Structure 1
C-alpha cells in the first residue's frame, strides 16, 4: 500500500510539472489575452515614456552605438518614444475592452517604439519586450473583435481637423511672439514648419536665444499632445448609441405587459422611449437597456414570461460581449436577481427596498398614522381639494396644463430618471396611467391663483398589472403649503378601490435596511458607522429622507438588487447609473433628429419638500 502511494506521488510531480510547462508554452487562455496584453501595453508605454523623459543611460552596454548613429537621431527618437508611450497608455483601456481599433493602433506603435528605444537608449529590453507583445497581438488578433461606435470615427476626424487647425494657428502666434529672441528673419513657411515639427515634439528650423527655445518647444508640444489626446478619446471612447424603442418594439412590449405586467412593479417603465430592447428567441420575454459610459444598464426585471427570461438574458449578454460593454442590472427583484445570477454567473448586491402599500390594509386610524393624519387634515382645512383620475379621462387642455406645471416645478435643470421613471405624462398610449392633483380652492375675493391656476401639486402613477399602480413622479408648487405629497398619496390610496387598484408601489429607499438596523438599540459599531455615512450622504442624495417619508405610510418592503460582474465594476456601474438617473450630467452635443429624453424625477427618488 505504501509502495502504491509512493508510486502515485512520484508520478504526480512530473505530471503537474508537465502541465505547468505545457501551459507556459501554450500561453494564457485566449479569453484572458486582452487583459494580459493591456497590462503589458501599460508596461511598454511606461518604458517608452521614461525613454522620452529621462536622459539616456550612459552606462548602457550598447552605448558604443551612439558613436555611429547620427547626432540628430537622439531628439527624434526621444520624441517618438514619448509619443508612442503616451499613446500606448491610452490604448491600454481599449485593448482590455477588445477594441479592434486599439489593436490596430498598438500593432503600428509597438515597432515604432522599439526603434525609438534602440536608437535613443540603445536598450535591448526596450526592443525585445515590444516585439514580444507584438507577436502576442498578431497571434491572438481574433480576440480583439469588439464592435466600434460607427459615430466615433467621424467625431475623431472632426476633432483632429478642428483641433489641428486651432493648434496650428495658435502655434504660429507662439513662434512669432518673440521676435527679439528669434535669429534672423524666417519666412512664413519656416515658421509653419517649426510649428508642425513642434506639435510632434521635434525641433524645427528656427533658432531662439536663451530659454525661449525651451518655452516655445514645450508650448508646441503641449498643443500637439492635447490634439492627440482628445482625438484618441473620441476614437476609443465607449459607445453611446442613440437608443430608442420603435413602434413595433413598443407594441410587443405592451403585449407582454398585458399578459405578465402584474409580476413586477417596474415593468411599465420598460416603455421609456430612450431605451433599447432585446427579445428572447421566442419573443415571450425582453430586456430593456441603455448604454452609458460603456455600461449596458438594464432596469428592473425582464419583461414577459419568467420561463422565457433566460433567452432574453442570453441575448442581452451576447450584445454586451459583442460591443465589450459592462453588463449591469439596476433595481431587479429577488426573483430577477436569482435568474440573472444563475444564467450569467454575475453577482447580486442588495441596493435598497421598495415601499409597497396594500390598499386593503391602509388606514389613517391609529397612533402610528397620527402625524400623517394631522398633516392631511391641516392641508384640507387650508383650502385644498384633490382629484384622482385616469389619464384617458382628462381633457387635452388639462393634460397640457399638468405637463407644463410639472416641468415648471422640476427641482433641477436636468431631467432625472431611468429604471424607475416613464419620462412622459399624458401620452395617448398611456391612458391607464393615474394622475392625482391638488387644487387650491379660490378665496371669496377671487384672488390670484398663480401661473398654473388652482393646480398646486401632481402625482403620476403607471400601471402595475390590472390591479396595481407604481409611482412615477411627484411635483408640487414651491409656494404651496408643505404636505402636498402626503395629501396626494393618502388621497390616491383612498381612491384606489374605485379604480380597481389593490396595491400601490411608492418610493424606492436606498440602503433602507442599513438605516433601519443602524438606529436600533444593540447595533454594532460597523453598522452604526455605515448608517452615519449614509446620513451624511443624505445631504445630497436624500437617502434618509426618502426612507423616513416612505415609512410614514406603513408599507411592506420589497428588496431590490443591483447585478454586476465583478466588484471592480461597481464604481463604474455606479457612475453610469448616476448619469442615467440624471444626478451627473456630462456635456455632450445633442444629436440632430433624436428627440431628447423627457425623463422626470426618479419615481422612486422624488424631491421631497418639508
Structure 2
C-alpha cells in the first residue's frame, strides 16, 4: 500500500526522534580504536572531544524537536535540517562515525522531500524568550569566571582572565581542560557550567517548539452570527449557548451555516460541545477548525460533544472518540415527586418548605437592575473560593443584559437569598444549567428544592426539558457498584472514588441520579493518544481546576 505524504511526515517525526537517540548513544560510547587512531593523526584530541560533546547536544535538541515536527512546525523543520547538517560533520570529526553521518544526511534528505508537510506557523515569540535562550550561556560564562576567580588557589597553574573565560565556555559542554588541586572544586565547577549548558539546550528547544497563541474573545460580528445560528439551531445541543463565552474564539464553515467555538491553551485547540448550526454544514466547520489547528501546530480536541457530533468528528475529521460521561436531562412533562424512587428528593423538598423557604422563577429580562445586583452579590458570596470555574457548561456571567432569555431560580428565607440556579436557553423549549449556588449554612436539600421549583414552573416558561450537570464516567459508577462487576471495572471505580476526594466525581453523579433523569452520553474527541495528557491539562486549565499563579497569568497561552 502506498504511503501518503501526511503519513510519511509522521514517520519522519518518529525517525527524527530515533536519530536523536542514536546521536546521544554514539556520544556516550567510545570511538572505535582503529578509527580513533587514524583520526588522531589529523586532528587534535581536544577538537574530537569538543565534537563529541557537540554531538550529544545535537542529539538532545533533535529529540526535543521531534515533537515540533509531529505538530508540523516549520521552525522545527528548519532547526532539524540545520542540526542534521551539523551532525554530518561532527560525527566524522568526533570519531569517523560514518554510519551516524549517513543517518543524519538521510534524515535531512527525507525532510527536504517532505518540506510541504511542515507548514505550521511559527510561534509569536515574546521578547524575553530569545533573550533567555541567548543569555543562558553568557550567564554561564560569567558565573564560571567568577567561580574560578574566587577559587584561584584551587587551580593548578596560572591562568589569565581570557583563559578563564575560554575554560568557562568550554565547561558549558563539559570540555574544560582545567586542572584542580581537589576533586570537590572540579565537581562544583563542572556542575555549575554543565547546568548552564543544559539550560541553554532546553531553552533553545523550547523556543522552537512553542506553539502559536490565540487571544480568546468574540468580536461583535462573530457573536451576532453565532446568535443567529443559535436562534435556528440552538435546540440541537444543550451546550450550544455556552459558545457565547467571551473567552472562546469561533470559526465558521465556508458557507457560514455552522461554527465551532474553541479556546487555545497549552498548544491545544479545545472545542466544547457540538458544532453550532446546520448539521449538514458541520463537516465544513470541522475542516476549517482542523485546518487552522494544523496551520498553528495545535492539537485538536473536543470536550463533551454528543454522539452525533462525535461520529461527525470521527468521519470527517479523523478524530478518535472516547466516552467521557453522561449528561443528565430532565423531561419536565414526565417529572413527578410521586413514587418510592423519588422519596429522597420529596423529603428534601418538604424539609426546605417547612423551614419557610420560598422560590421564585424569572427570566433575566423581567428583573430590574437592583434585583440583578442582589443576585450577583449573593452568587459571589456563595462561591466556594475566588476562582470562577467552568468552560464547557458555564457562561460565567449572571444577569447580563445580552442574555435576556436566561432563567434564574431564587430561594429566599426571611427575605434573604439562600440559594439560586441560573439557566441558559437550550433552543426555544429547553434550559441548560449554568450556575448553582447556595448559602453554606442553608437547610439541607436546597439544591433539590431549587431544581424542583424550576421543573414546576417549566410549563409557564414554555420549557419541556432541562439539562442538569454533567457526570464524568457515570457508567463506571453505575455499573461498578452492581453485583457481578468484573475486577477491571471495580478497580476503575475504586480509582475514580479516590479521585472524587479532590474533584467530587461521584457526588456529582449521585446528585443528578436522584432526579431519575434521562442520560445522554458525551464524548472526548482527539487526534492522537499521545496528545491526551496535554489535552487533559488544557481541559483542567479551561475548567479552572488548574490555575496558574497570578504572576504567571499575564503570559499564559
TM over 0.5: yes
Question: Alpha-carbon deviation of 1:238?
Answer: 2.6
Does the C-alpha gap of structure 1 residues 153 and 136 become closer, same or farther in structure 2, counting only changes over 3 Å?
farther
Does the C-alpha gap of structure 1 residues 413 and 90 become closer, same or farther in structure 2, counting only changes over 3 Å?
farther
Is structure 2 residue 7 aligned with structure 1 residue 32? yes
Aligned match of 1:434: 407
Does the C-alpha gap of structure 1 residues 530 and 68 become closer, same or farther in structure 2, counting only changes over 3 Å?
same
TM superposition score normalised by structure 2: 0.92
CA contact (8 A) 1:439 1:457 kept: yes
Aligned residue among 249, 254, 258 for 1:285: 258
- Partners of 1:462 and 1:440 lie apart in 2 by 25
- Partners of 2:139 and 2:368 lie apart in 1 by 55
Residue deviations 1:468-502 (CA, integer Å, cap 9, x gap)? 11001212222333322222112222222222222
Aligned match of 2:339: 366
TM superposition score normalised by structure 1: 0.84
Is structure 2 residue 228 aligned with structure 1 residue 255? yes
Question: Alpha-carbon deviation of 1:299?
Answer: 0.9
CA contact (8 A) 1:362 1:493 kept: yes
Does the C-alpha gap of structure 1 residues 342 and 105 become closer, same or farther in structure 2, counting only changes over 3 Å?
closer
Q: Which aligned segments of 4 or more residues in structure 1 are displaced greater than 6 angstroms?
A: none
Is structure 2 residue 547 aligned with structure 1 residue 589? no
Aligned match of 1:82: 56
Question: Alpha-carbon deviation of 1:568?
Answer: 4.0
Aligned match of 1:44: 19
Alignment of 1:302-317 (within 5 A): 302-317=275-290
Aligned residue among 118, 122, 140 for 2:92: 118
Is structure 2 residue 97 aligned with structure 1 residue 142? no
CA contact (8 A) 2:71 2:299 kept: no
Residue deviations 1:135-182 (CA, integer Å, cap 9, x gap)? 222222222111222x23645213325545654554444333423213
Question: Alpha-carbon deviation of 1:100?
Answer: 0.9
Aligned residue among 527, 534, 548 for 2:510: 548
- Helix, strand or coil: the match of 2:468? strand
CA contact (8 A) 1:33 1:143 kept: no
Q: How many residues align?
A: 555
- Partners of 1:94 and 1:505 lie apart in 2 by 40
- Helix, strand or coil: the match of 2:8? helix
- Partners of 2:203 and 2:383 lie apart in 1 by 35
Residue deviations 1:346-402 (CA, integer Å, cap 9, x gap)? 332322211111222222222222211222222233343333222222233332343
- Partners of 1:412 and 1:515 lie apart in 2 by 28
Alignment of 1:474-493 (within 5 A): 474-493=436-455
Alignment of 1:337-356 (within 5 A): 337-356=310-329
Question: Alpha-carbon deviation of 1:419?
Answer: 1.5
CA contact (8 A) 1:383 1:440 kept: yes
- Partners of 1:40 and 1:348 lie apart in 2 by 28
Aligned residue among 209, 217, 240 for 2:181: 209
Q: Gaps (5+ residues) in structure 1?
A: 1-18, 443-453, 597-610
- Partners of 1:394 and 1:173 lie apart in 2 by 70
- Partners of 1:409 and 1:230 lie apart in 2 by 44
- Partners of 2:374 and 2:197 lie apart in 1 by 53
Question: Alpha-carbon deviation of 1:300?
Answer: 0.9
Is structure 2 residue 523 aligned with structure 1 residue 561? yes
Aligned match of 2:155: 182
Is structure 2 residue 78 aligned with structure 1 residue 104? yes
CA contact (8 A) 1:156 1:235 kept: no
Q: Gaps (5+ residues) in structure 2?
A: none
- Partners of 1:498 and 1:168 lie apart in 2 by 76
Aligned residue among 398, 407, 411 for 2:371: 398
Aligned match of 2:169: 196
Does the C-alpha gap of structure 1 residues 31 and 421 become closer, same or farther in structure 2, counting only changes over 3 Å?
same
After TM superposition, the structure 1 stretch with the greater mean CA deviation from structure 2, 180-189 or 458-467, is 180-189
- Partners of 1:153 and 1:113 lie apart in 2 by 30
CA contact (8 A) 1:45 1:87 kept: yes
- Partners of 1:183 and 1:35 lie apart in 2 by 53
CA contact (8 A) 1:264 1:301 kept: yes
After TM superposition, the structure 1 stretch with the greater mean CA deviation from structure 2, 528-537 or 472-481, is 528-537
Residue deviations 1:395-415 (CA, integer Å, cap 9, x gap)? 333323433443343334543
- Partners of 2:308 and 2:8 lie apart in 1 by 35
Question: Alpha-carbon deviation of 1:83?
Answer: 1.3
Superposed CA RMSD: 2.6
CA contact (8 A) 1:159 1:231 kept: no
Is structure 2 residue 469 aligned with structure 1 residue 507? yes
CA contact (8 A) 1:239 1:293 kept: no
Aligned match of 1:380: 353
After TM superposition, the structure 1 stretch with the greater mean CA deviation from structure 2, 297-306 or 119-128, is 119-128
- Partners of 1:388 and 1:179 lie apart in 2 by 81
Aligned match of 2:67: 93
- Partners of 1:193 and 1:408 lie apart in 2 by 62
